[in-house]
């Protein structure tokens, strides 16, 4: 994943295992903060994060046409900011990547899967409040 340095604008490639870490810009050495937003995941990035992430991962299976999914989006963004450094949020568009949805037998959306060390810790269908999603991550 590419993270832009806030100080010098340099592009820094961040491996999945360091997305939740504070790092340094390869160019100016300024701090690069932990990932603090939902990450749009394709199959390659999805598999890399599941294989290498050192923190729990909440996956949001969603679609653009889904009203409840659009309602969950700002809550997921806020949760990602709140849990930066302690968890990662991935978003998987089921219309773009149906193979990922099939892998987790997603039959309704929004559908949330909590993973730790690549293993499913829980799966929840339907809209849930941020406090509940936070609890899922904290108990993973």
The reply to whether 50 and 24 lie within a common domain is no
The reply to whether 15 and 54 lie within a common domain is no
How far apart CA 96 and CA 85 sit, in angstroms, is 28
How far apart CA 17 and CA 74 sit, in angstroms, is 25
Active site residues: 66, 69
pLDDT bin (cut points 50, 70, 90) of residue 55 is: very high
Q: Give the domain range for residue 11.
A: 4-32
The reply to whether 10 and 40 lie within a common domain is no
**pLDDT, position 82:** 97
Closest CA to 39 of 29, 51, 30, 49: 49
The reply to whether 42 and 55 lie within a common domain is yes
The structural domain count of the chain equals 2
* pLDDT tens digit sequence for 103-128: 999 999 999 999 999 999 999 999 99
The reply to whether 16 and 80 lie within a common domain is no
The reply to whether 19 and 47 lie within a common domain is no
The reply to whether 66 and 134 lie within a common domain is yes
Average pLDDT in the chain? 96
The reply to whether 110 and 124 lie within a common domain is yes
Sheet strands (E) in the chain: 2-4, 11-13, 23-24, 31-32, 39-40, 57-62, 88-93, 111-116, 119-125
The reply to whether 115 and 101 lie within a common domain is yes
CA 8 to chain centre: 26
Closest CA to 42 of 122, 102, 100: 100
The reply to whether 12 and 58 lie within a common domain is no
**Those residues with Cβ within 8 angstroms of residue 27's Cβ, 6 or more apart along the chain or in another chain:** 5, 8, 10, 12
């Amino acid at each position: 994943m590419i993270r832009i340095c806030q100080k010098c604008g340099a592009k820094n490639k961040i491996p999945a295992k360091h997305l939740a870490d504070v790092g340094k810009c390869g160019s100016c050495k300024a701090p690069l903060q932990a990932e603090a937003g939902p990450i749009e995941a394709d199959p390659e990035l999805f598999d890399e994060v599941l294989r290498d992430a050192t923190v729990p991962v909440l996956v949001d299976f969603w679609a653009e046409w889904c009203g409840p999914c659009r309602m969950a989006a700002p809550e997921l963004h806020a949760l990602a900011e709140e849990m930066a450094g302690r968890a990662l949020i991935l978003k998987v568009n089921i219309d773009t990547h149906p193979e990922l949805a099939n892998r987790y037998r997603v039959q309704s959306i929004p559908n949330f899967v909590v993973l730790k060390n690549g293993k499913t810790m829980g799966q929840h269908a339907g809209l849930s409040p941020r406090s509940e999603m936070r609890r899922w991550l904290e108990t993973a």
